[in-house]
Structure 1
């Protein structure tokens, strides 16, 4: 069946309904879960169908669902894992048996566990930490986001022996990427850049290697490949051992950036700003050394 025939058969389909239809029609579509589908197929909202993606990689994720959302939560769990489903009944089917609810299907697949395993783990005597051990672990977690227990005057601080051989965790994190893997990914992505993307790419790379700095404003509507451009640039620079600190203004955008953080988190920007506000980065801290 051609794509044209496939389109005329549908009318105002939702993305999920169109995914079911695509799985019925195209064998290669059955290799991907619903959450993976946008990486290989492009959504056309009118009249509503998925078409195989010709070039470029896209990173999408399903919207978060609160733990109290009931069946919606379990539906999301199935969409993250099951491949090739052709209907809601098929989505709830496990080993040939169609369950009444999405929750029952999740339970049969082993996606739901009772609390006994956690109770047994918490009773393991090897898991108990001394006060000093616990403080040291908290300090390390704080250090990962550029903070410290010393920021809080009333908090105790663990003995320095815990940090005698410590390294800058932030710096280590940003220099521990697999260079060979990134080099291969960069070469693949670079070949798929369109002329406009290559123009931006070349300008930024030139400024990096000439050490002249610069500010670049790249404008484009959603889906035009800006994220793909940033990912390609990150791969190029990190494959050569350079440090890249991708930041965005919101958490959703950060998910699309490899190693991304929100600007507020990375640069300690206060949430409430006034004329006297400054970024809370102090001399001698891990984040200061990283930057």
Structure 2
């Protein structure tokens, strides 16, 4: 369906005495560029005014950094019908600290920056926040995008977050974990680390009731792989369980799993995106509290990983989870 046709029909029911398309797009003497804009001017559509007012109000007591995070929350929750319109009306609040920050970084108190450059830097900061959540400004129709030279340094931000560990400190921490590990935990640890080291792939399930040491084992395995510069993706089915994991996230957040899940659902991960590259580089995926959610979530991830990893090796398309080592854990009771 052509959306402009829909807006045209709205105007035909409201505007009177029009003899041309330009007359239909004219509101209070202003000729708008599209039928959609004319509908907004007439108040026929939600104009996101409440979001503009909210940002303007919060600006009086919060920093621009907080406002950018607030704007990203509005973007990722898809609350705004016209995010570009909200940006145009509030960009000066969202970029209020850019000039000060650049003066401090460059040690030039008299630095002058153009409005275009200030907007560009603010958009780059917003893009940085979005990419840390696996999203991008390119996904939002009409939103401007910062220049490529500002974005190029952000592309692998999501990967750097999973590599930002002190490997020496982790090696020392691993020694403490291994001194306290039980025989049963050591058996599981050896099996999983062996599969990762041998690049063999594999699907493991660790079953145990609450308090038996599953989280301790996740920390030990993560510490072992990260101390060698590898990437481990720790996820859980619930937010509370995710907080107990080192660098943990909910599975829905990390793998972009739909909340309305069914047998045909797929993870919203685009081939070649920063998140897809992160998954490709990961040595291991640990998923805790797995019995809590639908089997379709795992099937969606399985299809997604096969699709992402088949580019590096077509044989991966036939392996469970694309040949990635995946460890599931939980208590069916």
TM-score relative to the length of structure 1: 0.55
User: Could you tell me which residue of structure 2 aligns to residue 249 of structure 1?
Assistant: 237
CA 164–121 in structure 1, closer or farther in 2 if over 3 Å, else same: closer
* 1:285 counterpart = 2:273: yes
User: Could you tell me which residue of structure 1 aligns to residue 24 of structure 2?
Assistant: none
Unaligned runs of 5+ residues in structure 1 are 1-117
SS state at 1:290 partner: helix
* 1:168 counterpart = 2:156: yes
1:74-153 matches, within 5 Å, as 119=61, 127=97, 130-153=118-141
User: Could you tell me which residue of structure 2 aligns to residue 262 of structure 1?
Assistant: 250
Looking at structure 2, the residues matched to 119 and 288 of structure 1 have their Cα atoms a distance apart, in angstroms, of 38
- 1:133 is displaced (CA, Å) by 2.5
User: Could you tell me which residue of structure 1 aligns to residue 165 of structure 2?
Assistant: 177
SS state at 1:218 partner: strand
CA 167–154 in structure 1, closer or farther in 2 if over 3 Å, else same: closer
Looking at structure 1, the residues matched to 63 and 187 of structure 2 have their Cα atoms a distance apart, in angstroms, of 55
Looking at structure 2, the residues matched to 267 and 120 of structure 1 have their Cα atoms a distance apart, in angstroms, of 32
Deviations 1:196-229 (A, max 9, x none): 1111111111111121111111111111111001
- 1:119 is displaced (CA, Å) by 4.3
User: Could you tell me which residue of structure 1 aligns to residue 202 of structure 2?
Assistant: 214
Unaligned runs of 5+ residues in structure 2 are 1-59, 65-92, 100-117, 280-333
User: Could you tell me which residue of structure 1 aligns to residue 185 of structure 2?
Assistant: 197
Deviations 1:210-268 (A, max 9, x none): 21111111111111111001101100110011110011111111111001111111111
SS state at 1:131 partner: helix
Asked if the contact 2:128/2:154 (under 8 Å) is kept, the reply is: no
Deviations 1:118-145 (A, max 9, x none): 849679x972563323222111111111
Looking at structure 1, the residues matched to 150 and 260 of structure 2 have their Cα atoms a distance apart, in angstroms, of 35
Alignment RMSD (CA, Å):
2.2
CA 274–150 in structure 1, closer or farther in 2 if over 3 Å, else same: same
- Out of 150, 154, 165, the residue aligned to residue 142 of structure 2 is 154
Asked if the contact 2:124/2:146 (under 8 Å) is kept, the reply is: yes
**Count of residues in Structure 1 that have an aligned counterpart in Structure 2:** 173
CA 194–151 in structure 1, closer or farther in 2 if over 3 Å, else same: same
Asked if the contact 2:98/2:122 (under 8 Å) is kept, the reply is: no
Asked if the contact 2:98/2:121 (under 8 Å) is kept, the reply is: no
